[in-house]
Amino acid sequence: MPFYISEKLLEKHWSAKNHLDELNELGCTLLHGINVKDMHEDNFLKAMRFDRIIFNFPHAGHDPALCERDEELILRHKELLHGFFSSARCLLSENGEIHVSHRDDKPYNHWDIRSSAEESGLTLKEMVKFQKNDYPDYHNKRGGGIKSNKTFPLGNKSFIFKFSHKNDLEDNESVSKVYIDDLSMDFSNLIV
């Protein structure tokens, strides 16, 4: 079972080591340095199928010359999400789901997460309010730069968007918004 911690990862997110060690002890497969846009072509992953693929608060990276509301950076985020959905879709089991934690307020709603998933052959199954308390010891981190180990504000419009293959929901016309108090998760097949 691969277990690899990149020095670059630990340099940016020094507090990650304990969490990665814990996941490894739970039997998780931990991979780093996988490009989410072509992970379906990765030699280790391409033969695998997953019940859940999770991408918490995706971000295409920071550019000191741009801020989150700049069209150029928004376009980069859209390209990241479209590439991720297109690739992740290939790795889903028949009834699998892709979960993306994401803010749904300005400027993040301009990333058009729903449209990007739809264009990749996925459909929104439900939106669940992201409750940080449901994830003990979880700390969202910035994507890069000098403050990469710092958290960012989640706001009050953060959700987990749950997508599945379009054909899984052909008969379902509506999307449910669910607010849950308790999560139990099986970490046996997790891409980090």
The domain limits of the chain are 36-178
Q: Provide the residue type at 85 as one letter.
A: F
pLDDT of residue 33: 78
Q: Is the pLDDT of residue 53 over 60?
A: yes
pLDDT of residue 190: 42
Residue 50 CA to residue 91 CA, distance in Å, equals 6
| Cα 100 → chain centroid | 4
188, 27 contact by CB (below 8 A): yes
Tens digits of residue pLDDT in 69-121: 899 999 999 999 999 999 999 999 999 999 999 888 899 888 899 999 999 99
Tens digits of residue pLDDT in 126-173: 999 988 888 777 767 666 665 666 777 677 888 999 999 987 555 444
β-pair partners for 100:
55, 161
160, 104 contact by CB (below 8 A): no
pLDDT of residue 183: 36
Tens digits of residue pLDDT in 5-31: 667 777 776 777 888 888 889 988 777
Cβ neighbours around 35 below 10 Å, total: 11
Residue 167 CA to residue 176 CA, distance in Å, equals 17
Domain 36-178 has CATH 3.40.50: yes
Q: Provide the residue type at 69 as one letter.
A: R
- What strands, in cross-sheet order, belong to the sheet with 50-56? 50-56, 92-103, 158-165, 122-129, 176-178
- Sequence-distant (6+) residues with CB within 8 A of 125 are 97, 162, 163, 164, 168, 169, 172, 175, 176
Look at 104 and 191; give whichever has higher pLDDT: 104
Residue 94 CA to residue 10 CA, distance in Å, equals 35
